[in-house]
Amino acid sequence: MITTSTTELTTTTTAPALVSPDELFVLVLEERLELATLDIGHDKCSPAAIFGE
Amino acid sequence: MPTLLPLAAPASYPGLATAEVRPTEDGRYLLLAGGRVFQIGAIVYEVVQALQAGLDLPAACAAYAQRHQRTLRADDLAPVLHKYLGEAAGAPAVSRTSYIYAQVQLLRGEVLTKLGQPFRGMFRPWVLGPLLAVVAALLGTFVLKQGWFVPSFHSLPALQTTLLAYVGLVVGVFFHELGHSVAALRYGMRPKGIGFGFYLVFPVFFADVTEVWALPKAKRIVINLGGVYFQGLFTLLLMAGYYALPLAWADSRELLGTIITMNLFVMLYSLNPFLRNDGYWVYSDLFGLPNLMQQAFFYPLRWLPRAGTRPAPLRRAELPLLVYSVANYALFVYLLCVFERYSAHTLLPRLHGLLSAPNFPGNLLNWPDALFLLKTFGLYGFMLYMTAFSFWRNLRAYAKNRQAQAAKAAAAATPSRAVALA
């Protein structure tokens, strides 16, 4: 008696990795305005007042 | 190939024609659109370049997928591009409100570029280092020898002297802004101009150097300090004038001394890391913390337990943000205390005196009292408005942030729709 067996051939394909939405991030950078103050209350906050001279 | 939805043609991104994408020297990618700067990832960078080369979005995504063997879904990317490239055409997706209001431009970028070109050499390392040392040493010696001048103006007519002192300060502060702009020019950036406006309650001059986000941190730090450097050089010239004046010209010497002190004080104040002074940008750049103010504002939320899970333990890398956030809140509380003290000791007693005087309300027509009331309530109202406004802005930013996080989480939870390649 001859027994035959069949083997099912399974082929697998590799799915390419999906780009995650996290990788599509956009960070809104704050505007860079380099400022210098013209008045910080020089009469009351003068160095002399602060350092007690 | 993955199925890609037929999506909007490039014409849907009105900002595309004028948007600029560029890699930075330190390996980041920036998108400059509508006068704003966005930090983007390598994928968005590549796709925007493909769109600018004339491909439509599905084709650009397909090209990316082919090149990197990764599936890029156009329907993930489309909202991102709509939001940021649409914004350049004036769509209100990304708020463009500036933290300096009532802005007036004093010098346009093109003029500034021409004006600043000859001074670029001042930022060569072999000029900058020694000169900075000389400025610091001489100004330090001046303070030690002469002391801090009190702007008392007792010997000259007050109005005239005060005005002259402020003219001296304005010129110094202008040099300060020129310093930031020239430093930006030195590294190939285009300064957008110098302007005047109000930051919280302070009148300020500002230099718009938003483009310098494209530079590595060491260069950004030089630009941050360029203002104090130039203002220091200007103050050094004043100091030379001070010593050149004969001793007999006491009034002029006192005036000049006062201008020097005011400039020195503004320079020192600029270096503090709070309220977006130069020191703020130094701290932000040094520790790699973009949008520091916003990050510091929301940092405490990180310690709240979420959905029953305990907050993650403190990482060493987040120490600079922790320190800044704590200090920032402490400063806020301190300023509230100062304000309260002023109210209790000065403002309220005087107000009470005015309101309970026998000749009330006729006494309010007395001009020093009227001026006092006007100034006080103007200031109170303004501070209240600014606090509410700033709180509202931060809250709105927080809501947007939460919305974006929720969208990200939802996207991550969606099962992959990648189609297997046969």
Query: Is residue B38 less than 8 Å (CB to CB) from chain A?
Result: yes
The whole-number pLDDT of residue B102 equals: 84
Residue B335 near residue A41, CB atoms below 8 Å: no
Residues 6+ apart with CB under 8 A from B243: none
The whole-number pLDDT of residue B165 equals: 84
- Among B35, B64, B87, give the residue marking a domain's end: B87
Task: Mark whether B255 and B130 lie in a shared domain.
Answer: yes
Q: Kindly give the parts of chain B with pLDDT less than 50.
A: 1-10, 88-95, 153-156, 415-422
Task: Mark whether B77 and B107 lie in a shared domain.
Answer: no
- Checking if the pLDDT of A33 tops 80, the result is yes
Residues 6+ apart with CB under 8 A from B346: none
Q: Tokens representing B221?
A: 């730090």
Give the distance from residue A50's alpha carbon to the nearest chain B alpha carbon, in angstroms. Answer: 10
The whole-number pLDDT of residue B76 equals: 83
- Among B87, B118, B144, give the residue marking a domain's end: B87
Please state, in angstroms and rounded to a whole number, the distance separating the CA atoms of residues B259 and B265: 10
Q: What amino acid occupies position B386?
A: M
Residue B86 near residue B15, CB atoms below 8 Å: yes
- Roughly what angle, to the nearest 10 degrees, separates helices B217-244 and B158-186? 140
Task: Mark whether B282 and B337 lie in a shared domain.
Answer: no
Q: What is the mean pLDDT of residues A37-50?
A: 58
Task: Mark whether B44 and B60 lie in a shared domain.
Answer: yes
Please state, in angstroms and rounded to a whole number, the distance separating the CA atoms of residues B381 and B389: 12
CA distances from B310 to B226, B231, B305, B361 (A): 44, 49, 5, 60
Task: Mark whether B54 and B160 lie in a shared domain.
Answer: no
Task: Mark whether B256 and B381 lie in a shared domain.
Answer: no
The whole-number pLDDT of residue B223 equals: 95
The whole-number pLDDT of residue B280 equals: 96
Task: Mark whether B232 and B115 lie in a shared domain.
Answer: yes
Contact A15 B421 (CB under 8 A): yes
Residue B100 near residue A30, CB atoms below 8 Å: no
Task: Mark whether B70 and B128 lie in a shared domain.
Answer: no
Task: Mark whether B309 and B278 lie in a shared domain.
Answer: no
Beta strand pairing status for B193-199 and B101-108?
antiparallel
Chain B, residues 271-310, CB within 8 A of chain A, namely 276-278, 281, 290-291, 293-294
- Checking if the pLDDT of A46 tops 90, the result is no
- Among B248, B267, B286, give the residue marking a domain's end: B286
Give the total number of structural domains in chain B. 3
In a domain, B158, yes or no: yes
Residue of B nearest to A27 (CA): B39
- Partners of residue B37 on adjacent β-strands: A29, B32
Residues 6+ apart with CB under 8 A from A40: B202, B265, B266, B269
Task: Mark whether B301 and B408 lie in a shared domain.
Answer: yes
- Checking if the pLDDT of A41 tops 70, the result is no
Mutate to test the interface with B, among A35, A46, A51 (most CBs of B within 10 A): A35
Query: Is residue B422 less than 8 Å (CB to CB) from chain A?
Result: yes
Let me know if A22 is exposed, middle or buried by CB neighbors in 10 A (0-12, 13-18, 19+): exposed
The whole-number pLDDT of residue B151 equals: 54
Which stretch of DSSP H or E encloses residue B106? strand B101-108
Beta strand pairing status for B202-208 and B193-199?
antiparallel
Instruction: Residue B303: give the domain boundaries.
Output: 292-413
The whole-number pLDDT of residue B34 equals: 72
Please state, in angstroms and rounded to a whole number, the distance separating the CA atoms of residues B23 and B8: 26
In a domain, B92, yes or no: no
Task: Mark whether B119 and B77 lie in a shared domain.
Answer: no
Please state, in angstroms and rounded to a whole number, the distance separating the CA atoms of residues B393 and B129: 40
